[in-house]
């Protein structure tokens, strides 16, 4: 059986002497483990149509911050890091193309935030300024943390995971503030932070604020189902 091709967005261009694009291997490993064939999608193309034409599905991965200038947020916050106009422009174009094509898509952490901005929503520039630190959404740039998430019982996400509460790997300091057009919040942290969204007209979309690629091998298998569902939907196209 042919393995569906799954595009994975990469981090921004980095390095001075020999600039490079990179992405954590956990995204690649998760796609492979669930039957997909990963293809890296570095930013830079003004129009990603040609790249997406050859793919069956897309993972929008995490990484640096979305530039607040794109959603009217305050620039210059001390907590902002790794903003990149090239990456922002590319991923916004990818999201819009995926929606137009109804492409199977898994948006993770930054990917969910890019989706929200692409749909006209905005973000909290630094989440602790808004909700405090009772919920450990991020403890450092080097280490992820964990916290529980409540899922709407009537959501596609709850049906897929087979649960209305899950423990998730968390690693972010930006998050959705005002929802974009057509987005419905379907999961929340205990401090009210939006942790997942759905779009009724785009059932092929899975979009979560946490990092399921870090939980693929957990015994309950719940986070693995996000990647399995992506690959299954890609294979069915």
- Whether 218 sits among the annotated catalytic residues: the reply is no
CA 142 to each of CA 25, 81, 158, 223: distance values in angstroms, whole numbers, following the listed order: 15, 13, 30, 21
Annotated catalytic residue within 109, 126, 137, 198: 109
Q: What is the DSSP letter of 23?
A: -
- H or E element, residue 31: helix 25-33
- Whether 164 sits among the annotated catalytic residues: the reply is no
99: CB partners within 8 A, 6+ apart: 118, 199, 202, 205
Annotated catalytic residue within 126, 137, 172, 211: 211
- The Cβ of residue 115 has, within 10 Å, a number of other Cβ atoms equal to 28
CA 8 to each of CA 22, 39, 131, 159, 178: distance values in angstroms, whole numbers, following the listed order: 11, 6, 31, 25, 26
- Whether 98 sits among the annotated catalytic residues: the reply is no
Annotated catalytic residue within 195, 198, 213, 228: 213
Which residues have a catalytic role annotated? 109, 211, 213
């Amino acid at each position: 059986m042919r393995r569906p091709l799954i595009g994975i967005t990469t981090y921004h261009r980095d390095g001075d002497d020999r600039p490079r694009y990179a992405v954590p291997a956990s995204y690649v490993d998760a796609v492979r483990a669930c039957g997909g064939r990963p293809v890296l999608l570095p930013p830079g193309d003004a129009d990603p149509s040609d790249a997406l034409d050859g793919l069956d599905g897309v993972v929008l991965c995490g990484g640096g911050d979305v530039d607040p200038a794109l959603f009217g947020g305050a620039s210059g916050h001390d907590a902002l890091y790794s903003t990149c106009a090239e990456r922002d422009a590319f991923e916004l174009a990818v999201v819009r193309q995926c929606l137009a094509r109804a492409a199977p898509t898994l948006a993770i952490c930054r990917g969910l935030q890019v989706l929200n901005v692409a749909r006209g929503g905005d973000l909290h520039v630094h989440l602790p300024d808004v909700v405090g630190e009772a919920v450990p959404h991020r403890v450092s740039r080097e280490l992820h943390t964990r916290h529980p998430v409540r899922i709407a019982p009537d959501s596609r996400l709850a049906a897929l995971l087979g649960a209305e509460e899950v423990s998730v790997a968390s690693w972010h300091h930006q998050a959705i503030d005002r929802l974009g057009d057509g987005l419905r919040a379907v999961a929340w942290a205990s401090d009210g932070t939006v942790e997942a969204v759905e779009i009724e007209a785009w059932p092929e979309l899975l979009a979560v604020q946490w990092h399921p690629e870090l939980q693929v091998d957990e015994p309950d298998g719940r986070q693995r189902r996000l990647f399995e569902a992506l690959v299954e939907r890609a294979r069915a196209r």
